[in-house]
A and B are shown apart, each in its own frame.
Chain A
Amino acid sequence: MNKNRVFGIAVAALLWSAFLFGAGWMGRSLLAGGESPRRPPAPTSYPATTNPLLDEVWGHVRESFVGAIPSDTVRNYGVIRGALSSLNDRWTILVEPQPRAVEKDHMRGQFGGIGVDIRVDDFGHIVMTPHKDSPAQKAGILPGDILIGIDDLDLPDKPDLNEVAAHVRGNPGTAVHIRVLRADQRMEFVVNRANIDVPSTDWHIITDTIKPGFFIGYIGIHQFTERTGAEVKQALSELKQAGSQAYLIDLRDNGGGLLNAAVDVTSRFLNDGVVLYERKHDQADVAFPVTRDSAAGAYREPIVVLINGNTASASEIVAGAIQDTGRGKLIGEKSFGKGSVQSIYDLSDGSSVHITSAKWLTPNKRAIDGVGLTPDIAVVRAANEANDGKDSQLDRAMAALREQK
């Protein structure tokens, strides 16, 4: 496994809207092809009632508003967003086409791009950092180059990161002209797009220095994407081969993702029972059982799970199931507490709507929304630890595994 996790350009978009990647991903399984029995029926013809107020108000606006009238598209999104806001649910949202495209790329864990991280600096510039062996690096882009144009597009002041990402991305094999500012010099690069992988998981063996001969398999899961299930499967098989006697699952700062991925991952550690229950409006709870797979699993070895305040959504499903079943201890800080499931529907124009369609409950039917999971062993990671290369939560987790072995 290549430990250099190559993050594509849109990773910066994570900053833009954490909830898309945390909360928003959940429940997409409901959409996944014919395999889900709970896929909602396609809308039949809905007789629209007349709503003359919208037209009347817009008529007044067109007649007398002093500023520029926005396009119909902007207006349509405004109407939908406004109607959704009357639900008072922060997770039920409209996602416009460009962020939606970025979001899809991230769910897949792969897209056609050039392999750079982008971030906005204090001056509002977009600063690039190409990844090792990426198309961007091969073309000559250096860390610190400021992005000013993509093909025919000149970037505006304070550009939208999703928009930038959408323009940079494209089918593998196609070329994109990247214009940059380097030490006040304008430069242009032609970059051939390639498939950029966005792994969701990394793993390695930790050799215990305190207890000789004790090997711990570390599995860090950063998001629950379409590839997470397969990655964790591969991780377990490699770590087992390497002599792992216990597992440390790191879900800190994992904001969630796909529901199915959470069920898959949990099923690698629980060989029986229920991962979660889903509770819909006015309906009986639906159990999501552990999925059976004869391939690699770790059903007997000691495990611990690291969580913190950014452990949310799909991550809390995994952690909650492991805690409820007594399979392993949670160590760290109280988790985020996102206990709702969103279904994502793509609309005709490329935008999508995320709708909170259910709450989920742990195997013991605990509702964690707004509450979070309380760790079995509370360990706070001090702010300066990362700078000092320390990780007291990881240390405590290793101690816990050592005690069990």
Chain B
Amino acid sequence: MQPEPVNNGNNMLKNIMLGMAGVFIAILIFIVGVTVGVSAANGFSFNGPSAFPVPTDRTASIGDGTPASSSSSGLNVTLMNDVMSRLRAQWYGDIPSDDKLTDGALRGMVSSLGDPFTAYIEPQYAKILEQDMTSRFEGIGATLKSVTGGAIQIVRTFDGSPARNAGVQAGDLIESVNGAKVSGLTTNEVAAMIRGTAGTTVTITLRRADRPKGFDLTITRGAITIPLVTSKMVGDGTIAYVSLYDFSAEASAQLNATLKDLLAKNPKGLILDLRDNPGGYLSQAVDVGSIFLKKGTLVIERDTKGNERSESTSGNGIAHDIPMVVLVNGGSASAAEIVAGAIQDYGRAVLIGETTFGKGSVQSPQTLPNGGQLRITIQHWYTPKNRGIHGTGIAPDYVVTRTPADELAGRDPQLDAGVEYLQTGKAPAATAVPTAAPTPSK
């Protein structure tokens, strides 16, 4: 058992995100909310106005200003200036603004590390991401995805959201926003166009199967809270089921509130669904872990210099003893794996489903002077039993797959196995993994 974590750790925790697997970024930037100062032109045009003054001198170049062949930090300025001058003299198109070139250079430099989780995020998207991580912002309350052919589609609308109230439906294709065509734009560019201050309006032209010619909806933006938890009673009302979508800032609070209601119904068992949960903040992993685990080490973090620290659960949780199953799959990543890994190590519950994503690194985000965000992988983390999961993931105690056909048909064999296990103690048939079977706590 680790000693109680010192309080000053909390501030640091707040600033550390478990990077979130790529999926998380992808999902969150699709969420339509508010942003300040991002216009459509800024979002996608190389020639649009930029947030920072652009030098009028066309010879401005990337580099650090010294004519020497390399800067103190090892940048070969001569090489870069050579490329830039050739480009300015020869390129057929319009040269992007210096800000855009710098964004590209930073992206390229950071990608030279070969770590997909160490990333530079451009200013206009950094803002959206930050708001997304709070789960609260101003917009219309819909999620978007890009579909084949470059169209943008509504994935879902939140309960009570302006989008839902205005009649937006899942599956609708967005034709234009305030008259501007969105074809060929990315989802985050479209998200930036739709977001705006609560009380203002946005007009969206939509197409759907029965209205192929398209129609306009004018929607008044509002304050949006992304729901992070869904719950229900399953197994003829004997088992409580709760699903957590991610580990953003509101996750543990929403989960705790939902669990209180569920536990009041005196269920015999609890199913925590972490499938497709891409992670989020480390601090939220600690808070969520504390709900289910008694006081102890939740996760150990190490950097390359040999520094080690650990995070411990608080000891105050409302679901320390109820028999429990955790559902995981290949989309369970990062913070979700920390919680699932600790629960498995302590034998608090069995894991049912598929091997998790395997993201065992921790990123520290920081805001740069240009408003962009830099995320650096600073540590790898290990489960309480010192298991490293990076690249391998966590194998469930019982492998139960859910095929696309199951999904289409609305079947959920993983959930069914969880319910049966809690009701009868019977291990899921034929798919048991013999090497890892901790006794469930009763």
A and B: bona fide binding partners: yes
Q: Are B92 and A78 in contact (CB under 8 A)?
A: no
* Residues of chain A contacted by B84 (CB below 8 angstroms): 46, 83
Chain A residues whose CB sits within 8 angstroms of the CB of B89 once the complex forms: 40-41, 43
* A159 beta carbon closer than 8 Å to chain B: no
Q: A78, B65: Cβ atoms under 8 Å? A: no
Q: Are B376 and A353 in contact (CB under 8 A)?
A: no
Q: Are B86 and A345 in contact (CB under 8 A)?
A: yes
B111: interface (CB < 8 Å): yes
Q: Given A54-B64, A65-B377, does the pair A46, B369 have CB atoms closer than 8 Å?
A: no
B102 touches A51 (CB 8 A): yes
Whether A60 and B92, one on each chain, are in contact in the complex, defined by CB atoms closer than 8 angstroms, is no
Chain B: number of interface residues, binned into ranges: 35 or more
Interface residue? A64 (CB, 8 A): yes
The answer to whether A46 touches B81, judged by C-beta atoms less than 8 angstroms apart, is: yes
Known A-B contacts A46-B84, A48-B66, A86-B100; A281 and B92 likewise in contact (beta carbons under 8 Å)? yes
Contact present for B80 and A80 (CB under 8 Å): yes
Q: Quick one: which of A48, A81, A89 contacts B77, CB cutoff 8 A?
A: A48
**Contact mask B288-305 → A, CB, 8 Å, 1/0?**
000000000000000110
Given A48-B66, A358-B92, the answer on whether A83 and B104 have CB atoms closer than 8 Å is yes
* Nearest A-chain residue to B72, judged by Cβ: A55
Please determine whether A57 and B374 come into contact, CB atoms closer than 8 angstroms. Answer: yes
Is A66 a contact of B83 with CB atoms below 8 Å? no
A57/B106 in contact, CB under 8 A: yes
> Which residue of A48, A66, A85, A355 contacts B81 across the interface (Cβ within 8 Å)?
A48
Of the residues B80, B91, B98, contact of A92 by C-beta under 8 Å: B91
Q: Which residues of A contact B424 (CB under 8 A)?
A: none
Hey, which chain A residues are within 8 Å of B114, CB to CB?
Answer: 67, 70
Q: Check: B78 CB closer than 8 A to any chain A CB.
A: yes
Chain A: which residue is nearest B303 at the CB level? A66
A33-59 contact mask (Cβ, 8 Å, vs B): 1 or 0: 000000011010111111111111111
> Hey, what's the 0/1 contact readout for A234-276 against B, CB within 8 Å counting as 1?
0000000000000000000000000000000000000000000
Given A87-B91, A355-B86, A359-B92: A64 and B111 within 8 A (CB)? no
Min Cβ gap B384→A in Å is 20
**Closest chain B CB from A342 CB (angstroms):** 9
Task: Tell me how far the C-beta of A279 lies from the nearest C-beta in chain B, rounded to whole angstroms.
Answer: 8
User: Which residue of B55, B76, B112 is within 8 Å of A49 (Cβ)?
Assistant: B55
- Is A78 a contact partner of B108 (Cβ separation < 8 A)? yes
Q: How far is the CA of A79 from the CA of B64 in the complex (A)?
A: 13
Task: Tell me how far the C-beta of B227 lies from the nearest C-beta in chain A, rounded to whole angstroms.
Answer: 34
Chain B residues with CB under 8 A of A348: 78-79, 82
Q: Does A343 sit within 8 A of B, measured CB to CB? A: yes
Contacts of B94 in A (CB 8 A): 281
Please indicate the chain B residues that have their CB under 8 angstroms from the CB of A311 in the complex: none
Interface residue A340 (Cβ < 8 Å from any Cβ of B): yes
Q: How far is the CB of A67 from chain B (nearest CB, A)?
A: 6
Q: Assess the A66–B101 pair: CB atoms within 8 A.
A: no
CB–CB B110/A61 < 8 A: yes
Shortest distance between the CB of B19 and any CB in chain A (Å) = 11
A61 touches B104 (CB 8 A): no
Asked whether any CB of chain A lies closer than 8 Å to the CB of B85, the reply is yes
A280 CA / B89 CA spacing, docked (Å): 11
Instruction: Please give me the residue from chain A that is nearest to B71 by CB atom.
Output: A55
Which residues of chain B have C-beta atoms less than 8 A from A64's C-beta?
303, 364, 376, 378
Chain B min CB distance to A104 (Å): 18
B176 part of interface (Cβ distance < 8 Å): no
Indicate if the CB atoms of A51 and B93 lie closer than 8 Å.
Answer: no
Q: Are A54 and B376 in contact, CB atoms less than 8 angstroms apart?
A: no
**With contact pairs A82-B106, A348-B78 given, residues A55 and B73 touching in the complex (Cβ less than 8 Å):** yes
Asked whether, in the complex, the Cβ of A72 is within 8 Å of the Cβ of B76, the reply is yes
Expressed in whole angstroms, the Cα–Cα distance for A263 and B394 within the complex equals 61
In this assembly, does B368 line the interface, its C-beta being within 8 Å of a C-beta of chain A? yes
Query: Are B380 and A50 interface neighbours, CB within 8 A?
Result: no
Which residues from A are CB-within-8-Å of B304? 66-67
Chain A residue with minimal CB distance to B100? A86
- A75 within 8 Å of B by Cβ? yes
**A: contact size bracket:** 35 or more
> Of all chain A residues, which has the CB nearest B89?
A40
Please name the residue on chain B nearest to A88 by beta carbon.
B46
Chain B residue numbers with a CB within 8 Å of A187 are: none
Across the interface, which residues of A come within 8 angstroms of B423, CB to CB? none
Q: Is residue B220 within 8 Å, beta carbon to beta carbon, of the partner chain? A: no
- Tell me whether A353 and B83 are in contact in the complex, defined as CB-CB below 8 angstroms, given that A60-B374, A64-B376, A66-B377 are known contacts: yes
- Bound-state CA distance A348–B368 (Å) is 32
Are A75 and B112 in touch, CB under 8 angstroms? yes
Q: In the complex, A47→B81 CA distance in Å? A: 9
| B73 with A83: CB separation less than 8 A | no
> In the complex where A49-B61, A49-B63, A55-B73 touch, is A80 in contact with B83 (Cβ < 8 A)?
yes
* Separation of A93 and B74 alpha carbons in the complex (Å): 22
Among B105, B111, B113, the residue within 8 A (CB) of A83 is B105
Residues of A within 8 A of B80 (CB): 48, 76, 79-80, 83
Is B118 an interface residue when CB atoms closer than 8 A count as contact? Answer: yes
Q: Does A356 contact B (CB under 8 A)?
A: yes
Which of the listed residues A48, A53, A349 has the most CB atoms from chain B within 10 Å of its own CB? A48
A84 with B113: in contact, given A56-B369, A60-B376, A75-B75 (CB under 8 Å)? no
B87 within 8 A of A: yes
A325-364 with Cβ < 8 A to chain B: 340, 343, 345, 347-349, 351, 353, 355-359
A340 to B92, CA, bound (A): 9
Give Cα A82 to B80, complex, Å.
11
B73 proximity list for chain A (CB < 8 A): 54-55, 58-59
CB distance from A181 to the nearest CB of B (A): 29
- Indicate whether A6 reaches chain B with its CB closer than 8 angstroms: no
CA of A73 to CA of B109 in the docked complex: distance in angstroms? 11
> Which of A43, A51, A345, A359 lies at the interface centre, i.e. has the most chain B CB atoms within 10 A of its CB?
A51
Q: Does B370 contact A (CB under 8 A)?
A: yes
Is B96 interfacial (CB-CB < 8 Å)?
Answer: yes
- Once the chains are docked, how many angstroms separate the CA of A15 from the CA of B91? 27
A299 CB within 8 Å of chain B:
no
Q: Do B61 and A76 have beta carbons less than 8 Å apart? A: no
Cα A78 to Cα B77 in complex, Å, equals 13
9 sampled A-B residue pairs with Cβ under 8 A: A45-B67, A48-B62, A49-B55, A54-B109, A67-B115, A67-B304, A78-B111, A82-B106, A348-B78
- B interface with A by C-beta (< 8 Å): 46, 55, 57, 59-67, 70-87, 89-96, 98, 100-115, 118, 120, 303-304, 361, 364, 366, 368-370, 374, 376-380
Known: A49-B65, A65-B115, A83-B80. 19 other contacts (CB 8 A): A47-B61, A48-B62, A49-B57, A51-B65, A53-B102, A53-B369, A54-B102, A57-B109, A65-B118, A72-B75, A78-B108, A78-B110, A79-B108, A79-B109, A83-B84, A84-B83, A281-B92, A345-B86, A349-B79
Residues of A within 8 A of B (CB): 40-41, 43, 45-61, 64-67, 69-70, 72-89, 92, 94, 280-281, 340, 343, 345, 347-349, 351, 353, 355-359
Closest 5 CB pairs of A and B: A82-B108, A78-B112, A86-B104, A72-B74, A48-B63
